[in-house]
Chains A and B, each alone.
Chain A
Amino acid sequence: MTTVTQPKEASEKVDLWLRMYRQMVAIRQFEAQVNELYTRALMPGLAHLYIGEEAVAVGVCEALERTDYITSTHRGHGHCLAKGASPDRMFAELLGKKAGYCKGKGGSMHIADPATGNLGANAIVCGSAGIATGAAFSSRCLGNGRVSVCFFGEGALGQGVLYEEMNLAQLFKLPVIYVCENNLYTEYTHYSETTAGDILSRAIAFGLEAASVDGQDVRAVHATAQRLVDRARRGDGPAFLLCDTYRYHGHHVGDINREYYRSKQEEHLWKTERDPIAKLGKWLVEQKLADVAALDRLQTELESEMKKAVDFAVAAPYPAVDEVGEDVYA
């Protein structure tokens, strides 16, 4: 029996790993184009790049169904893409175009998409902890089996509402996973200067299932997330997943000179020794599941796909001015 199922399981796993590799590259290429749009002064406002953290969004979202819910953050492009958003409509939103996910009214920090269960990115740090918990409450009431994931950076650990929500989620046994992306910097301040005590202990104190994982290892993120999602879906209650990761770029695209808060050497080490894409790529090659040329081709392919998506967004029209008053009330 095992000899028959093993190859099938293995091939499903291989598909998953290759899909996760592709998704991570897609996010990185998307963000590279965002940076390009900013430097070419084609993008209104700013954006917060997810480059370096791809394994967290991809590893977690691959453990979810399309109908499951996520809430995202100001650094949210990766979450939205990993949950299934289309790059062309995302770029359109980033440029304030009518074809964008929010008709241009939301922008980089507010991409929302009911079709992929994306309840919205949120520009208030920890602003969506309530929304994610509430979506899990609905799932429980409606019995639809959906799980809700709340992504947030370690900066949100300073917000009291996070603990109110974890308390409520545990009291009501809600299917919600709080995913903390510790990229080490709360804007321009190292998290050790803003975070007392132990992070995981905070969740453990509320009785949540708590786990920490190397956020640069997408296979590890996925395996742990899958376990937490499965138990939440079974009705075993909420969980907290701490992912150690790193933001390659600045707090936002304009944060170029960073040496006053972190060294170039530190950035170099993370990029060369802990890069999530390189790490998975190397492993896939070692396992003879992919060859270097194929992975390189994928990079090129996705780069050109993202450029096409940018072209679509650049050419797309702005909303008509008289739309400004629409959608205030339903």
Chain B
Amino acid sequence: MPETHLHARDDRELTFAQAIREALAEEMRRDPTVFILGEDVAEAGTPFKVLSGLLEEFGKDRVLDTPISEAGFTGLAVGAAMTGMRPVVDIMFGDFVTLTMDQMVNQAAKVHYMSGGKWRVPMVMRTTMGATRRSAAQHSQSLHAWFCHVPGLKVVLPSTPYDAKGLLKAAIRDENPVVFFEDKMMYKLKGPVPADDYIVPLGVADVKRVGEDITLVATSSMVQVALGAATLLEEVGISAEVVDPRTMWPLDERTLIESAKKTSRAIVLDEGYERYGVTAELASVIATGAFYDLDAPVKRMGAMHVPIPFSPPLEDVTVPTEQTVFEAARALCGR
């Protein structure tokens, strides 16, 4: 199941953005309670043009432009989700999730538990992440770790067009609030995407590349970085396995641990801040689960602990690159 994309039945390729749009369109056709809410989602189709064409097909009652009120429309989505609708909220830049935190953390995440399981909040918040777009400190962060910290939320980080479509469809059908992070630098990434109605279940990791000497656990755009580093490592005789957890919660701990046990070395890559971040949790899972099989401490690579700077040479060093991962992996393998 996790590797079905390797055996896609047709050769059709879509960009990451097209895959997202197709998932939304299919789910909106399937279920009349699914609707989209956000800033400039209708005629504009978002600044990234991810939603272009949806207004034309589904009309303005299901693709709604909102005021610039992230807390307001996210809160509205929570209430709508509780009472029979399936909102998909669009938060243009991941940095703006800060404005939605009470709605997501104190409301959406807790309603089910606080009500003793009576009310449900089947909503999706789609937002972006990722640096190196020269957008400076308030349009470049990857804040997914904040949501991973909150019981009641699910957190999804697709890395390929195939996964993006299947995971988004699963997220929309989920009975819980799901935060779905799209790396804005990947919207133009192309890959095979079947036209079928398929689901990638939440909580199932995917081995993106099979290897023997070191495991690179990578999320979102870091999967591409890890795959690039793996190619460089191949040239020096190191076989790297790339594992993509795909969802931060639920987390497929077993696949991560099994891979690390096999290779005996692991680096965890994520574009969020390294300190107190996703890499810390994933590294802990591996260190605990594969302890007796590890030949080296698990290494973590995330964003530097600085606000993302504007100046290109400064920004470029804040996040892991193929080269830095290549060097770290070589060092970890002692070669």
Contact = CB atoms under 8 A, between A and B. Distances in A.
A10 B114 CA distance: 43
A141 interface: yes
Interface stretch (A160-168, A196-204, A236-244): A160-168
Given A112-B118, A119-B119, A327 B113 contact: yes
B103 A330 contact: no
B36 to A, nearest CB: 13
A141 B79 CA distance: 13
Contacts of B81: 134
Interface in A114-142: 114, 119-120, 122, 124, 127-139, 141-142
A152 to B, nearest CB: 13
A129 B75 contact: yes
Contacts of A110: 114-115
A297 B114 CA distance: 37
A137 B79 contact: yes
Nearest to A93: B116
A326 B118 CA distance: 12
Contact of B76 (A113, A119, A130, A142): A130
Interface residues of B, number: 43
Contacts of A119: 79, 82-83, 119
A105 interface: yes
A168 B73 contact: yes
A105 B116 CA distance: 6
Contact of A142 (B66, B84, B102, B112): B84
B117 A327 contact: yes
Nearest to A167: B67
A141 B59 CA distance: 13
B151 A328 contact: yes
Contact of A171 (B33, B61, B67, B115): B67
Interface of B: 33, 35, 61, 64, 66-67, 69, 71-85, 87, 102-103, 106-107, 111-120, 122, 151-152, 154, 175-176
Interface stretch (A39-47, A95-103, A215-223, A264-272): A95-103
Interface residues of A, number: 46
Contacts of B84: 138, 141-142
A329 B152 contact: yes
A106 interface: yes
Given A119-B79, A135-B80, A138-B80, A168 B151 contact: no
A328 B112 contact: yes
A260 to B, nearest CB: 30
15 contacts: A100-B116, A105-B115, A106-B116, A110-B114, A124-B102, A124-B106, A130-B78, A131-B78, A134-B79, A138-B80, A168-B69, A327-B113, A328-B151, A329-B176, A330-B122
